[in-house]
A and B are shown apart, each in its own frame.
Chain A
Amino acid sequence: MGFMFLVGVIAGIVLAVGITMFIMVSVVKKTNDWGDYDGAEGTIAEFTMIQKADKVKESFSVHEKI
Chain B
Amino acid sequence: MIYKCRGCGSALRYDMLTGRLLCDSCGSTYDPADYDEVLDNESHSYETMEQKIYTCNACGAKLMINDVEAASFCAYCGQPTVVFDRVSTVRKPDIILPFKVAKEQAKELINKKLKGFFIPKDIKNIELDVVRGIYVPFSFSDLEYEDRQVIKGRVKSGKSSTTRYFYRHAKAKFSFLPVDQSVKFNDESAVKLEPFPQNEFVPFQASYLSGFYADAGDEAKENLEAKIKSRAGDVFNKKVEDTVRAGNKVLYRNNRRVNIEKTRYGMLPVWFFAYKREKATYTIMVNGYTGKVVGAVPFDKAKVAVCTALILLPLCILLGTIGGFLFDAIYENSDNSNGLELVVAGIVAIFGAATTKLNKFKKSRKLTMESSIFELAKDRQEV
Chain A residues in contact with chain B, CB under 8 A?
1, 4-29, 31-58, 60-63, 65-66
A5, A8, A23, A54: residue with the most chain B Cβ atoms closer than 10 Å: A8
With A33-B365, A34-B113, A54-B166 as known contacts, state yes or no: A43 contacts B312, CB within 8 Å.
no
What residues of A have a CB within 8 angstroms of the CB of B308 in the complex? 20, 24
Cβ-defined contact, A40 with B235, below 8 A: yes
Whole-angstrom distance between the alpha carbons of A59 and B119 in the complex? Answer: 54
Whole-angstrom distance between the alpha carbons of A12 and B346 in the complex? Answer: 11
Whole-angstrom distance between the alpha carbons of A5 and B327 in the complex? Answer: 6
Whole-angstrom distance between the alpha carbons of A48 and B176 in the complex? Answer: 18
What residues of A have a CB within 8 angstroms of the CB of B324 in the complex? 5-6, 8-9, 12
Cβ-defined contact, A44 with B172, below 8 A: yes
Whole-angstrom distance between the alpha carbons of A4 and B331 in the complex? Answer: 7
Chain B residues in contact with chain A, CB under 8 A?
113, 116-119, 148-150, 155, 163-178, 188, 191-195, 231-232, 234-236, 238-240, 243-244, 253-255, 285, 292-299, 304, 307-308, 311-312, 315-316, 318-328, 330-332, 343-344, 346-347, 350-351, 353-354, 357-358, 360-361, 364-365
Query: Closest 9 interchain pairs by CB?
Result: A12-B323, A8-B327, A35-B294, A31-B116, A12-B319, A16-B315, A18-B350, A8-B323, A22-B354
Cβ-defined contact, B322 with A12, below 8 A: yes
Cβ-defined contact, B320 with A40, below 8 A: no
Cβ-defined contact, A43 with B177, below 8 A: yes
Cβ-defined contact, A47 with B239, below 8 A: yes
Chain B: CB-nearest residue to A36: B192
Cβ-defined contact, A12 with B321, below 8 A: yes
Contact of B177 among A13, A38, A40, A63 (CB under 8 A): A40
With A32-B298, A53-B166, A55-B165 as known contacts, state yes or no: A24 contacts B171, CB within 8 Å.
no
- Whole-angstrom distance between the Cβ of A4 and the nearest chain B Cβ: 4
- Whole-angstrom distance between the Cβ of A40 and the nearest chain B Cβ: 5
Cβ-defined contact, A33 with B255, below 8 A: no
Whole-angstrom distance between the alpha carbons of A38 and B259 in the complex? Answer: 24
- Whole-angstrom distance between the Cβ of A42 and the nearest chain B Cβ: 7
- Whole-angstrom distance between the Cβ of A9 and the nearest chain B Cβ: 4
What residues of B have a CB within 8 angstroms of the CB of A8 in the complex? 320, 323-328
Cβ-defined contact, B119 with A47, below 8 A: no
Whole-angstrom distance between the alpha carbons of A8 and B325 in the complex? Answer: 7
What residues of A have a CB within 8 angstroms of the CB of B299 in the complex? 28, 31-32
What residues of B have a CB within 8 angstroms of the CB of A60 in the complex? 150, 165, 167, 253
What residues of A have a CB within 8 angstroms of the CB of B285 in the complex? 35
What residues of A have a CB within 8 angstroms of the CB of B174 in the complex? 40, 43-45
Q: List 17 A-B contacts (CB under 8 A).
A: A5-B325, A11-B344, A12-B321, A15-B343, A18-B350, A20-B311, A29-B360, A29-B361, A32-B296, A34-B293, A35-B285, A35-B294, A38-B195, A42-B195, A44-B239, A45-B173, A65-B167
Chain B: CB-nearest residue to A3: B331
Whole-angstrom distance between the alpha carbons of A20 and B314 in the complex? Answer: 10
Whole-angstrom distance between the alpha carbons of A51 and B243 in the complex? Answer: 12
Whole-angstrom distance between the alpha carbons of A9 and B353 in the complex? Answer: 22
Chain A: CB-nearest residue to B109: A34
Whole-angstrom distance between the alpha carbons of A51 and B315 in the complex? Answer: 51
What residues of B have a CB within 8 angstroms of the CB of A14 in the complex? 347
With A11-B323, A20-B312 as known contacts, state yes or no: A56 contacts B150, CB within 8 Å.
yes
Cβ-defined contact, B322 with A17, below 8 A: no
- Whole-angstrom distance between the Cβ of B254 and the nearest chain A Cβ: 6
Cβ-defined contact, B351 with A21, below 8 A: yes
Q: A22-B354, A44-B172 are in contact. List 12 more A-B contacts (CB 8 A).
A: A1-B331, A9-B324, A14-B347, A15-B347, A21-B351, A33-B360, A34-B296, A46-B172, A46-B173, A50-B170, A53-B167, A65-B169
